[in-house]
Structures are given as C-alpha cells and as structure tokens.
Structure 1
Amino acid sequence: MEKCTNFDRNVTVYEQTQMSNLESVLSAADANTDTALQRLFALLRMPSISTDPTYHDDCVATADWLVAELNGLGFDATRRDTPGKPMVVAHGGPKDAPHVLFYGHYDVQPADPLELWKSDPFDPQIEEGPDGPMIRARGASDDKGQLMTFVEACRAWVETTGDLPVRITILFEGEEESHSPSLVPFLQENAEELKTEIALICDTGMWDGNTPSICTMLRGMVAEEIVIRAANRDLHSGGYGGPAANPIRILSHILASLHDEQGRVTLDGFYNGVHDVPGNLAQQWESLGFDPKDFLGKVGLSTPAGEQGIPALHQIWARPTCEFNGITGGYTGDGFKTVLPAEARAKISCRLVWDQDPHAIRDAIRARVRHMLPDDCEVEFIGHGADKATVMATSDPAFEKARKALATEWPNEAVYTGGGGSIPIAGHFKEVLGLDSMLIGFARDDDAIHSPNEKYNVKSFTGGVRSWVRVMAALGK
C-alpha cells in the first residue's frame, strides 16, 4: 500500500511539472511552424508509392529520412526491413511514464491521372482555400501531414523540456496503401517490443473544421465474389431463350433475395452480434446535427435508403450493410448482342459492426446461393478478405483525458464518432498486441485523399501539432 501511495505522490508532482511546461511547449510549436512546414515539404517530395515497384527505392529513402529525423529528436530509431517496404520503429521518453504506441504510414497512393492535378503532386505548394491556406501534394493528408503533426509535437516537447511527457514507441509503415502484406507478421514477430498501454493512430479526420473527434468504432468487412455458370458457351437468345438457364437472371434473383422491403438483410444469423448504440453515445451523435438530406445532396441524392427506421448516421457508423459492388455477364460492349451468357458474376461486400463474425456471414452468403441455385448450374466463390469490426473500450481513462485535451485546443468539444469504413491496423493492434486504439486525426472531408489535388489545411497541420502537444501532456498525468 505504501508503494502505491508513493507512486500517487510522484504522479501528482509529474502532472504539475508537465502542466507548467505546457504553455511553453505550445509556444515553441507555434514558433516552429515555418520550419515544420519545410520538413513536411521535404517528406512530401519523396514519391513513396508502395503499390508500384518502380518506387521501391523511394520508399526505402523515405523510411531512412524518418529514421534520421527521429534520431535527431533523441529517439532510438531504426529501419526494419521486411519482405516488402521497411518499417520504422523508434523508442523515446521516460521509462517510468505512461507508454503509448503511435502509428502512421509514410507510403502514398499513385498520383494518376497526372493531368488532373493543378500542380506537380510531388512538388508541394501552399494555396489559398476557402478555409485559409492549404498544402497541395500527394500524401499531404494521407498520411504524411498527419504523421508529422505528431513528430512536430514531439519536437516541441524535446526542445522545450529536454524530454517527452510520455514514453513513446513509434511505428511507421510503408505498405498501408498496398494492403499491408508485411504488417501482421511484423507485429507478431515484434509483439513484445511494440506492446504499450494504448495505441494512437493519426489516419482519421475531424467532424468539422471546429470540432475534433476520436473515432471509437470501425466497421469490419467481408467481401465475396460469386460466379454462376450454366451452358458450356454463350447461347443465341432466339434459339435457347426460355428453356436454357440464364446465369444473369439466376444471379439477379439471388441478389434480390438478400434484402427485404424494409432494407434489412435476410441472411440467416446476419444480425447476430449487432447491438444497439448506448444511450449516452447516441445522444452525443444526435447533438452533431447530422443532416441526411444535406449529406446525400452533395452526391446528387435526397432520400435515405437502407434500413427503415434507423437514423442515417447510425446506418453509417453502427449498422451492418450488404452491398453489391459490381455485376457482369453477357455482352456489355457498344450496340446489342442477343446472347444468353454462359456465366454471370457479382461482387458483394458486407460492412460489419460490433461482434459480427465475418466468417459466419461468408458461410451464410454461400449457403443462400447454393440453396437457390437451380439444376444445370454451378457456382464458384472467391473470397476477398474478412475482418471483424473494431470497437474501442472508451471506459479507459485515456479516452476522456484525450477528449478533454482536444477540447482545449478547438472551438468545440471533441466528440466520439464512428467510422463507416475500415482501418485494419486498429483491428491488428487489438488482435496481435491486445491494444485499444485512439484514432485522432485532423483531416477534412474535402481533402481529396486518393484523388487528384489532395490537400491538407495548414490549420489542420498546426492545430494537429498543438493538439498532440496537449494530448501528450494529458496522457502523461
């Protein structure tokens, strides 16, 4: 008991020390803005495209650049080669402080089509935008700009106080944009080195320009390709139409059976593991003022589809889906060709939430197809991945500390949000390292990630640096 009392006393002193330093560190971060942007621009000039083998050496050079930057800040940083692109691993901060793992990725998407860019995608520019100056370059938002907000926050702490308020392990990946083939083996092989108390991921965005967010729910996904075959060749519809099985008609009938008139998925057991949104979280989401008509209006739609009676925001963040992503069969070229095709294909993806089992849902899809498949037909199934949803344990005090820290930097309080898409790294940290993740990012919806003319607001960058300064201080308490 006495040991615990002494520890509490040390934490109080530590907390007081860090809070007295906070304003000085924030001032240093502001003073570093110009040089911080220069460092970011140097990183953005490196075409670290992981999907194209032509740029392998550029990815290695980018990893080496990050290692040098981190070592210059006092981290023990190394490049770790993998069968694909290198990882960057670094350790720093006091050994007796709370321990966090920070993740980012240094690889970027290809810049094609180049003719649609306003400027060279690897020659970063500052342009004036509707919300102030913005950085135009490939990787500005996804994820180099976000990654560097954390590095620059570390710089401000080290230059001001000589150390960090938390113990930090950094993991920078170079294959996120090419489905991370080396990541899980690397985590498994280095699990003991990478285990901390919580993970921080900066690959998400704010709710709006004045409202930061912590993403606490990410949907999983199961993807399945279905190929139905009938006759041994395409058939003339005049000679065979009627008695011959038509794979397009059969496939369409099966796909139509997957939803009822209320928009619910009809697969056996599909909703096993789906829970209601807790009341306090539902109230917070309601306070965001999400307007489904405005949301859909931006893409030329007006009326929510999906499950009847379920709010649109809940549909995106906390409800599962079964969507058709592509259907092919028969003649699809110019003009007309009256054939009964020998085969038809469909690609289906199901976004998953809470405790849904992706493998059970894949089995249910296949069982439905087999049950409805008529005589003279055969089916081939091609799986394209299966990942569970990730739900963070927001009861961990670190979440509320971070939320309050963000609220002191931005005009509006930080909110807990969900994510309609998937960020596999959060699930891998949970499964391999046993870590919950806080997903804190400063991107904007209009950043055009993966598209021509990607940008990152300077306000997102500078506000992100200051936010991480505050979050580090809060987590170091």
Structure 2
Amino acid sequence: MQDKSKIGEILSTLDKDLPQALDRLMEFLRIPSVSTDPAHKDDVRQAAEWLTAELTAMGFDASVRDTPGHPMVVAHSPKGTRRPLLFYGHYDVQPVDPLNLWQRPPFEPEIQDLPEGKVIRGRGAADDKGQLMTFVEAFRAWKTVHGELPTDLVLLFEGEEESGSPSLRPFLRDNADELRAGIAMICDTSMYSDGRPAITTQLRGLYGEEIILRAADRDLHSGSFGGLAANPIQVLVNALSTVKDADGRITLPGFYDGVEELSNELRSDWEDLGFDAGDFLSRVGLKHPIGEKGRTGLEMVWNRPTFEINGISGGYTGEGFKTVLPAEARAKVSFRLTGTQDPDAIRDAFRAHVRDALPEDCSVEFHPHGGSPGSRMDISDPAFAAAKTALSEEWNREAAYIGAGGSIPIAGDFKEILGMDSMLIGFGRDDDRIHSPNEKYDLESFARGARSWARILAALA
C-alpha cells in the first residue's frame, strides 16, 4: 500500500487543478501537429515548443532537439542519485481526413457531455496528447506540493510517431547515454476492454511482404492457353494456401523458433479477464473463432504468431467478364511475431517457400515492409508489481497484465538500443476513435490517468 500521507495532497491538488489542466490540454489540442503533412511542419514545431515551454516552467531542463525530420522534445529533472525513469509519448497527430465526417472542426476541441459521461473531443485527444498530458499533470502536481519530483526523470516526446518514426532509432543511438534509464514508461496504450486498468507487458512484432508473381509476357486468352500455360494467380494462391496447415499452424521451417509459452502468472491473469472470443467477434459481425487449435482466444491474439493475407489482386476485376490468364498476380501478406522470433529468418523462409512453389516459367519479386521483433517485458522487476498495485488502488479494481496483438516498435527500440524494459500504461478506451473522425478521450481517463501516474511515481520512488 502507498503512503497516504505522501500521496493524498498530490491527488487533492490534481482534482482541484483539473479545470486548469483541461485548459492546458485544449490549448495543446488546438495545434494541428500533423506529422505526415509537410504543410503542417511549422505546426509540429509549434507543438514541440509549447511542450518545452510547459516543462521549462515546471523546472525541467527541457529543449527542442532537431532531427532530419520533426523535432524531439527532451527534458530532465534535476539530476540526483536515484534510479531514473524515462517517460515517452508523442505529440504529433494523425491527419483528419475525411473532414466531412467530423461533427465539429478537429482542431477546435471541446468537452462534450454524453449519456455515458464527459469526453474530450478533438484530434489527438486520445492519441497521444491527452495521454501524454496525464504524465505532465502528474509531474506538475508533485512539484506544486513538494517542490520536487520523487525520483529522477528523463522525458522523450516524439514528433514523428504517426509518420513511422524515421528519426527515432538514429536519435536513440546518438543520445543513448543521455536517455538510458532504469525503465521506460510509455503512455500510448489502452485499458482492458471492460475498463480495467492494465499494464501491457508484451507486444507482437511485425514483418510484411508484397509479392509480385509473373508468367507470360501478356494476358492470355483462357480458351487458347488455359490448362497449358502457368496462371500466376493460381500459382500464388497455391503457395500462400500452404503456409498454414489444417490446424492453423504455420508450416515454414523454423518458424516457431523463439516462440515462448505463457508464464503461469500471465496465464492466470489472462484467464481472470473472462475473455469471450465469440462475444468479441460478434462486435464485427462474426460468431465462430478459427485459428490455431488448442489455444485460447487471448493466446491467439496476444501470444501466438500469425500469418495473414492482407490483399491479393490480378487479372480482370472490372464489370462484366474477361476470360484471361493474367500475366501478373500480386499479394500483400503480414506475419505477427512473438517471443524472440527473428523477422529476417522468417522472411528468408517465406521467400524460399514461395520460390519452391514456382513453375519454371514463373518469376517472383519481393518488396519487404517492416521487420520488427516482438517485445516481452520482465515482470519480475519489482517496479511492475508496484505499478500494478498503484493502478488497482486508483481505479478500485484489480489491474491486469495484458498483451497487445499489434506492434509498438518503440518498446523494442528501448530494449535493443537502450537496454531497458518498458512499462506500457495508458487509459484509452476501445471507442476512442483514434485515427478516425470524431476522436475522443474520456474525461475520466484524463483525470484518473494523471492521478494514476502520481501514484505510480510514489510507488516507484
């Protein structure tokens, strides 16, 4: 249990200061820091400068750091001898298209009173400005009450996350000694679907590939050549269909090297979540789970690797009918990776599998897309148990260790380049509409998110 005398006044300060904290967030949200659009280059820098000014006013040594792309914001608390914590978030946002689907201008945020509660509406409210500001407001309350923070902090706020983070890995390498800390805190995640506070302890990696398969030098009449000439679509679908067997397992040699089974602690945590795969699928118009036999639903989406065909094309697909053998077929595929699976080894195995399926008259070319391994955090570090307890006390329900089926490459980058684990704690909800029109962030998520970080700081000090 946390020392109530230590944290109580800080929580009261956060509650009292909530209107001012919302004013600051609204000011931040009005900056259209769209990193993918060159027209917003100055806006992205304005957001970086806004953050730097806020942190400087709170006593941090903060600066805007230029990169070949958009700038980073780096800040340090006064250096002491305590185990430092690194806090990461991003201040850039997604484009707003299609604009006509927004109920109000995306960069004119407001608090809306909905039947299910108050929400903060605007681009970046949940991804990631609102989440990032839960950090900042927790730091502010600590400084207001005690005049200092309970431990040493390093802050890294990025301006390119929504455009693929091209400058991040070089920046981490060039500034590793400055940024390295005991553990990293990442706020760009969500609570569990039932509103339970959660710490994401593992993420799947990703490897993608586009395949272009060619045969004849032109489209062929199927009456004249069908049955004699190679059909690239048929060859391609044959190759892709044998990547999985009838039990949902992937057949590539060595594919499961590095895949780890769940620990007993995580298995127990996940069972307690009461996940119903059928109910989960019903939200998207489906009923019956498929996939790897002998695995639970949460195992399949969080802890097992996958192979998916994301798109396939070739031949004539317009109105009417055209009986041809196409000269070319294309597919885009992706693998989600877990444990210590090696994306490069899997790429080599997949390409060899496709090449082995080719008739002599066919050729193939490959275009890679991404290649990041999965991440699994060491929850034996006492910091995880301390943070879990702090979250449970704030939300009045037991926090959970969860996984994520998607990829957050920064966690892997911190592990690989800075040699430290990450604790992924966010307060987003499934219905926040991130990357879509009418993005929102629950007011409760913002207010209790800041309170949660205040408690976590106390627990980890």
TM range (shorter): over 0.9
Q: Give the aligned partner of residue 418 of structure 1.
A: 403
Cα deviations across residues 361-380 of structure 1 (Å, max 9, x unaligned)? 10110110111111100010
SS in 2 for 1:71: helix
Alignment of 1:317-466 (within 5 A): 317-466=302-451
Query: Would you say the 8 A contact 1:94–1:163 is kept in 2?
Result: no
Q: Give the aligned partner of residue 471 of structure 1.
A: 456
User: Which of 233, 241, 261 lines up with 1:276 in the alignment?
Assistant: 261
Whole-angstrom distance in 1 between the partners of 2:79 and 2:40: 37
Q: Give the aligned partner of residue 147 of structure 1.
A: 132
User: Which of 228, 236, 242 lines up with 1:251 in the alignment?
Assistant: 236
Query: Would you say the 8 A contact 1:136–1:454 is kept in 2?
Result: yes
Query: Would you say the 8 A contact 1:248–1:343 is kept in 2?
Result: yes
SS in 2 for 1:322: strand
* Per-residue deviation, 1:241: 1.6
Query: Would you say the 8 A contact 2:195–2:429 is kept in 1?
Result: no
Matched AA of 2:399:
A
* Pair 1:86 & 2:71 matched: yes
Whole-angstrom distance in 2 between the partners of 1:233 and 1:35: 67
Whole-angstrom distance in 1 between the partners of 2:320 and 2:109: 45
Matched AA of 1:116:
L
SS in 2 for 1:128: strand
Query: Would you say the 8 A contact 1:356–1:388 is kept in 2?
Result: yes
Matched AA of 1:191:
A
Whole-angstrom distance in 2 between the partners of 1:112 and 1:270: 39
Tell me how many residue pairs correspond in the alignment: 461
Where structure 1 has 5 or more consecutive residues not aligned to the other structure, the ranges are 1-14
* Pair 1:261 & 2:242 matched: no
Where structure 2 has 5 or more consecutive residues not aligned to the other structure, the ranges are none
SS in 2 for 1:303: coil
User: Which of 290, 295, 300 lines up with 2:285 in the alignment?
Assistant: 300
User: Which of 150, 155, 164 lines up with 1:170 in the alignment?
Assistant: 155
* Pair 1:98 & 2:87 matched: no
Whole-angstrom distance in 2 between the partners of 1:237 and 1:45: 58
Query: Would you say the 8 A contact 2:138–2:454 is kept in 1?
Result: yes
Whole-angstrom distance in 2 between the partners of 1:131 and 1:157: 31
Cα deviations across residues 180-204 of structure 1 (Å, max 9, x unaligned)? 0000000000000001110000000
Cα deviations across residues 392-425 of structure 1 (Å, max 9, x unaligned)? 0111111111111111100211110001000000
Whole-angstrom distance in 2 between the partners of 1:372 and 1:56: 47
Whole-angstrom distance in 2 between the partners of 1:129 and 1:368: 53
* Pair 1:192 & 2:177 matched: yes
Whole-angstrom distance in 2 between the partners of 1:336 and 1:135: 51
Whole-angstrom distance in 1 between the partners of 2:24 and 2:422: 27
CA RMSD of aligned residues (A): 1.3
* Pair 1:217 & 2:202 matched: yes
* Per-residue deviation, 1:174: 0.4
TM-score normalised by structure 1 residue count: 0.95
- List structure 1 segments (4+ residues) > 3 angstroms apart after TM superposition: none
* Per-residue deviation, 1:235: 1.3
* Per-residue deviation, 1:98: 2.5
Cα deviations across residues 78-99 of structure 1 (Å, max 9, x unaligned)? 0001110000000015512321
Query: Would you say the 8 A contact 2:90–2:160 is kept in 1?
Result: yes
SS in 2 for 1:171: strand
SS in 2 for 1:337: coil
Query: Would you say the 8 A contact 2:248–2:293 is kept in 1?
Result: yes
Q: Give the aligned partner of residue 129 of structure 1.
A: 114
Whole-angstrom distance in 1 between the partners of 2:193 and 2:140: 27
Q: Give the aligned partner of residue 12 of structure 1.
A: none
* Per-residue deviation, 1:308: 1.4
Whole-angstrom distance in 1 between the partners of 2:313 and 2:240: 13
Q: Give the aligned partner of residue 5 of structure 1.
A: none
Whole-angstrom distance in 2 between the partners of 1:204 and 1:24: 28
SS in 1 for 2:240: helix
SS in 2 for 1:409: helix
User: Which of 39, 53, 77 lines up with 2:62 in the alignment?
Assistant: 77
Cα deviations across residues 287-312 of structure 1 (Å, max 9, x unaligned)? 00111111000000011111112101
SS in 2 for 1:268: coil
Cα deviations across residues 38-62 of structure 1 (Å, max 9, x unaligned)? 1001111111001111100000000
Whole-angstrom distance in 1 between the partners of 2:431 and 2:399: 20
Cα deviations across residues 19-49 of structure 1 (Å, max 9, x unaligned)? 5331001000001100100100111111100
The worse-fitting range, judged by mean Cα deviation, of 204-213 and 441-450 is 204-213
Whole-angstrom distance in 2 between the partners of 1:208 and 1:259: 30
* Pair 1:44 & 2:20 matched: no
Query: Would you say the 8 A contact 2:61–2:78 is kept in 1?
Result: no
User: Which of 113, 133, 146 lines up with 1:161 in the alignment?
Assistant: 146
* Pair 1:24 & 2:12 matched: no
Query: Would you say the 8 A contact 1:84–1:181 is kept in 2?
Result: yes
Identical aligned pairs, as a percentage?
59
Query: Would you say the 8 A contact 1:221–1:349 is kept in 2?
Result: yes
Cα deviations across residues 202-234 of structure 1 (Å, max 9, x unaligned)? 000111454100000000011111111000111
Whole-angstrom distance in 2 between the partners of 1:337 and 1:122: 48
Cα distance, 1:195–1:139 mapped onto 2, change above 3 Å: same
Whole-angstrom distance in 2 between the partners of 1:385 and 1:337: 36
The worse-fitting range, judged by mean Cα deviation, of 327-336 and 164-173 is 327-336
TM-score normalised by structure 2 residue count: 0.98
